[in-house]
Amino acid sequence: NAGVMQNPRHLVRRRGQEARLRCSPMKGHSHVYWYRQLPEEGLKFMVYLQKENIIDESGMPKERFSAEFPKEGPSILRIQQVVRGDSAAYFCASSPLAGNEQFFGPGTRLTVL
């Protein structure tokens, strides 16, 4: 049973480009969560999704950031017109039910030049 998968593991973008981060939850998990971790900082919640629905996006910046979890395929976190401050590790987690233990993927390390 494969764990949570994220790709790419490392992503380099220049300022103004778009970044697309992908997350495939564990088999049987329909709840997906995205977190951002800045150097020397804790994990910050961004968005919580179920299939085809955004449940809670209270941690998501209002501009340039969007997330989806389509009926088929992985969840996508999209960052438009990236800036240097977007450089961080982005972790995805999944759970079988709301409120259960969340299993984390290996993360995508985004570097904006």
Partner 1 sequence: GQNIDQPTEMTATEGAIVQINCTYQTSGFNGLFWYQQHAGEAPTFLSYNVLDGLEEKGRFSSFLSRSKGYSYLLLKELQMKDSASYLCAGLNSGYSTLTFGKGTMLLVSP
Q: E strands along the chain, which residues?
A: 5-7, 10-13, 19-24, 31-37, 43-50, 53-56, 65-68, 75-79, 88-95, 103-104, 108-112
β-strands 65-68, 53-56 pairing: unpaired
Q: Which is nearer to partner 1, 17 or 103 (CB)?
A: 103
CB 4 within 8 A of CB 26: yes
Kindly list the residues in this chain that would bind partner 1 in the complex (CB under 8 A). Answer: 4, 33, 35, 41-45, 48, 55-56, 59, 91, 98-99, 101-107
Q: Which is nearer to partner 1, 17 or 30 (CB)?
A: 30
Q: Which is nearer to partner 1, 66 or 106 (CB)?
A: 106
Q: Which is nearer to partner 1, 83 or 98 (CB)?
A: 98
CB 20 within 8 A of CB 90: no
Q: How far is the CB of 47 from partner 1 (least distance, A)?
A: 9
Q: How far is the CB of 68 from partner 1 (least distance, A)?
A: 18
